[in-house]
A and B are shown apart, each in its own frame.
Chain A
């Protein structure tokens, strides 16, 4: 009898456990999004199977951008009452990892953020749809500018995503400090170095340049090397020169790296060896550093945190003697998940977000270079802080665009490897020659594996 009681109690306990889990589940699934929860239930009852709910995932998440996107999605839902959109916003740091997990689990994501960095991985694994069926009939395809089209079709000439914006770097500088010291706006890296050393005064906690030695530092070595090497770079195979060898074999690459190290040693905060995006932007906006090279997004940040007239933008510095500046035009946009069950509706959403009006709205508020040709006429981009971009685009012979080797298997790993080497280089643990040799070997090896 004792044992029966025991058995009963344990059984009860197990049942409670199961019940709690089940009730927890149903509790949760019924409590939908606070705002739309109620009317969603209503529409589902009213329209039955007519309503489609799209799942959309972003990866470059920030609270402000999420708000912006939600506003645009609302406008879309107003136009399309039978489509609901559920926006998923994983925290930036782990977003790519999270999205990979979702896709590996074959979840039905309808719309997802695809970037130049991730498009190869997604297309390799058939995680995203070929959009050519849709783009061939899309009235706005030909209104996209060349960089946007190039970005969209960068893998196998197939459009895998529709870009929402273009990332190019520009020089931000402290206008007031430059004027005070009687310095001209830098045009070359030599100018940057000279101005930066003049403005550096550690006792005032003031430095010439917002250096990036932490995560993402390889991007800076990349565009400096590109600028120094100049036209010898193969534009659609950016880490190689015309004769097929990696760009790191050139003498210009040595010059570029020497300049890179010099700027760190003589004109940057010692701490900046570990700076990445947030620190370098903060260094500039908080008045520690005089110059910063960054994406257009920083314009908004600077406008929010700095007084007007104290800063301005200028085109990217050029290499010597090449006389050109060269960088990549980063693109990011929206694609359709391969496991989506609502591809037609997903495309509806993408084409809505990518229309010239919506894209202009998004680009302005998110501070990005827009993807449609028509946007060049907008005074917002023609004048003011964005004008340095217009200037660069107007002189394609001086401001070159090259492609990153994103379609090589080792690209992702290379960035991690290079970042470590760059820090070792700045610490003096390895020489410039060591670093260049290592990267040369890496890319020769990659080329062979290709």
Chain B
């Protein structure tokens, strides 16, 4: 978890050509390193210090180091436990459905057909909208009184009275996850479609000569070939989905009764309601720690060695 492991001096191993490329490497990476260090790692470091301080807006005149007190309080908060469990559901179900539907869509879009470009532009579009906006739109649609989703379900005779989508805890969690699935399918579809198109035709031809059917093709050639893409994309999505408070913030703000809080909205609430920057920072560090641990296990389990290739 130590930040800023960037090297001060870059020494070059003579793999590509000769040693004097060191300056070139250094200069090329310099803008990225300077900017990332100054505007991401430096604020992170300062933010991380707050996690060990009594940093509450109520009284900033008396900020002291209090060791792990903030962590203790956060971990003892029943809301934190709930948010952690919710985060698991939020990530797991979002990911499974985004991945499987995205995979399916990509398979169907692989072959050219008339209007594919237009179709792609339309169905990929959710990806281009902001999470906050999507949250607002879905909240508008889920509305119990004048919401379009309830209206449609009633018209189709599927239900008789409106479903309290965002006001009943179990429904609320399902509802925000559905909205998130809607938002995230596209990303998988694009990545997987790209991967599918990169499968060399010769492989399929060879398989055909061996008399493989479509399903066998899929299992024996397609999936193994695109697996690395899926593994990397899925890991990245896990990280992004957990650090994505916008949607829940706009839809339910964690309610009702904290039933839709995930860790990142829990953290947001610590800032907005409690105005306790210390506890918020502690939660933030816990999130980072959890994600690092998860990534390590994930990459070990999938035996994927290119850890950084996200």
Residues of A within 8 A of B (CB): 3, 6-7, 10, 13-14, 17, 96-97, 100, 104, 120-121, 124-126, 202, 205, 213-215, 269-274, 283, 286, 288, 409, 412-413, 415-416, 419-424, 426-427, 429
Contact = CB atoms under 8 A, between A and B. Distances in A.
A213 B164 CA distance: 13
A273 B164 contact: yes
Contacts of A205: 145
A343 B172 CA distance: 49
Contact of A413 (B59, B162, B166, B273): B273
Interface string B22-49: 0110011011000000000000000000
B271 A97 contact: yes
A10 B146 CA distance: 58
Interface residues of B, number: 39
B275 A124 contact: no
Contact of A124 (B59, B255, B269, B272): B59
Contacts of A271: 143-145, 162, 164, 166-167
A415 B162 CA distance: 30
B167 A213 contact: yes
A41 B168 CA distance: 57
B59 A6 contact: no
Nearest to B273: A416
Given A7-B23, A271-B143, A274-B166, A412 B274 contact: yes
Interface in B204-255: 252-253, 255
Contacts of B144: 269-271
Contact of A214 (B59, B255, B258): B255
A124 B63 CA distance: 13
Contacts of B20: 3
Interface of B: 20, 23-24, 27-28, 30-31, 56-61, 79, 143-146, 161-162, 164, 166-169, 172, 252-253, 255-258, 269, 271-276
Given A3-B20, A288-B145, 13 more contacts: A10-B28, A14-B31, A124-B59, A215-B253, A269-B144, A270-B162, A270-B168, A271-B167, A412-B58, A415-B273, A420-B255, A424-B257, A427-B257
A450 to B, nearest CB: 13
Contacts of A421: 257
Contacts of A420: 79, 255, 257-258
Contacts of B252: 274
A286 B255 CA distance: 24
- Secondary structure of the A side of the interface? helix
Given A14-B31, A270-B167, A97 B273 contact: no
B91 to A, nearest CB: 23
A347 to B, nearest CB: 25
What are the 9 A-B residue pairs with the smallest beta carbon separation, nearest first? A271-B144, A423-B257, A416-B273, A423-B256, A273-B167, A10-B27, A424-B257, A274-B167, A413-B274
Main secondary structure of the interface of B (DSSP, over half): loop
Which of B23, B31, B144 has most A Cβ within 10 Å? B144
A125 B276 contact: no
A13 B153 CA distance: 58
Contact of A412 (B145, B256, B273): B273
Contact of A7 (B27, B31, B60, B273): B27
Contact of A409 (B27, B59, B253): B59
Residue among A202, A269, A271, A286 with the highest chain B CB neighbour number at 10 A? A271
Nearest to B271: A97
B255 A125 contact: no
7 contacts: A3-B24, A6-B24, A100-B57, A270-B164, A271-B144, A271-B162, A273-B164
B256 A427 contact: yes
> Among the interface residues B20, B252, B258, B269, which one has the most CB atoms of the partner chain A within 10 A?
B258
A412 B30 CA distance: 44
Contact of B161 (A13, A126, A202): A202
A415 B269 CA distance: 12
A120 B273 CA distance: 15
A150 B33 CA distance: 55
A14 B61 CA distance: 41
A419 B143 CA distance: 20
A429 B28 contact: no
A422 B274 CA distance: 17
Nearest to B272: A97
A213 B166 CA distance: 12
A413 B31 contact: no
Contacts of A10: 27-28, 30
Nearest to B24: A6
Contacts of A270: 144, 162, 164, 167-168
A125 B256 contact: no
B256 A213 contact: yes
Contacts of B169: 427
Nearest to A273: B167
A13 B168 CA distance: 56
A412 B275 contact: yes
Contacts of A214: 253, 255-256
Nearest to B60: A125
A424 B24 CA distance: 61
B58 A409 contact: yes
B59 A125 contact: yes
Contacts of B162: 270-271
Contacts of A202: 161
A412 B271 CA distance: 11
A207 to B, nearest CB: 9
A296 B123 CA distance: 46
A413 B270 CA distance: 8
Nearest to A422: B257
A289 to B, nearest CB: 10
A10 B32 CA distance: 13
